Amino acid sequence: MAEAQAIWRATPNRAALLILLTGWVVLFHWLGNSTLGYVNTPSLFGWWTWTLKNTPDEEHAWLIPFVVLALLWSRRDEFLSLTKRAWLPALGVLLLAMLLHISGYMIQQTRLSVVAFFLGIFGIAGAMLGRQWMVAALFPFSLFIFCVPLGPGGTEIVSFPLRLMATKITAVFCDLVLGIKVMQSGTQLLDAGGSYQYEVAAACSGIRSLTAIVAFSVIYGYMSFKTGWRRLLMVASAIPLAVVANVFRLTLIVLAAEAFGQSAGNYVHESSVFGLVPYIPSIGGMLLLGWWLGEDRKARRSAEATVIDGVGQKA
């Protein structure tokens, strides 16, 4: 608590920052939602809460604000060392957020207003704390994109291509590598005789694993690297790793069904324990990539090469 108070005292333009943030929150509470359909409230936060409660695949959004705060707190010494002063160009970000909210409000697309809300917070903080703060906080703030609920229609747009890709790769892998004849019909996998199907439901779409792996890659990249390209490469790796994770899970389902019958495959599909297994190859691959990209490891290799060259020259 004492450290938090010290950080707050070291923050410039505290009064203006607090007033602007309060006004921004009040705006979105009273004029944040114009749909007034299923959720009869003008509050963006009321709409957001109702939407998340009715979209189980997006429950992760509850945790994102706490994760962002934890990431910022973990780098508090770095933020304290920055030169912080008012930076008026950041008001352009706030203006963009306002225009985005007005557009979302007029066309009754509250998801645009959710994006505008977090973008506006970023712009307000940047205007009061400066450009260096905005650059340092950009990566953790990007996690707020996971607070935007896609809804059933939006998740299907993302999940269907993932489900289709996972089933295609699984069918080819089982046929060519495992020698198990599997027929693909759209997003369904059938045994060679077509007598029963392996369980490949929407829950295997990868939307949850993709969200979790992308979020983990952002956190891991932010905590492990300082260079932007390494962080971006880590985030980009999340998509193929999420596909690998789902192919691994579907392959386990096929193997269980092939060995012990469809009921065994259904059990692997529905088991919460087996639901965590796909994260092993994805997180393992991410850690391996992180080790390969490691700034400390490359710095040590450069230092060792310099020492060896120096010794060679002396000899």
pLDDT tens figures, 1-12: 788 888 888 899
C-beta of residue 182 within 8 angstroms of C-beta of residue 189: yes
Check whether 299 has a pLDDT greater than 70. Answer: no
pTM, rounded to two decimals: 0.82
Band (16; pLDDT cuts 50, 70, 90): very high
Identity of residue 313? Q
Which residue do the tokens 């979790």 mark? 212
Residue-level pLDDT at 315: 52
pLDDT at 154: 66
Euclidean distance between CA atoms 127 and 130, whole angstroms: 6
Q: How far is CA 123 from the centre of its chain?
A: 21
Dump pLDDT digits (tens) for 255-277: 888 888 778 877 887 787 887 88
Tell me what pLDDT residue 94 has. 97
The most distant pair of C-alpha atoms in the chain lies apart, rounded to whole Å, by 81
Which strands form 197-198's sheet, in the order they lie side by side?
182-185, 188-191, 197-198
Q: Please give the Cα distance from 54 to 213 (Å, whole number).
A: 23
For 54-74, the pLDDT digits (tens) are 887 788 889 999 999 999 999
- Dihedrals phi, psi of 183, to nearest 5 degrees: -100, 135
Mean of pLDDT values over 93-116: 96
Query: Where does the pLDDT of residue 92 fall: very low under 50, low under 70, confident under 90, or very high at 90 and above?
Result: very high
Q: How much is the pLDDT for 264? A: 84
Provide the percentage of residues in the chain whose pLDDT is more than 90.
Answer: 43
pLDDT in tens, 215-258: 889 999 998 998 889 999 999 998 888 888 888 988 988 888 88
Say if CB 24 and CB 121 are below 8 A apart: yes
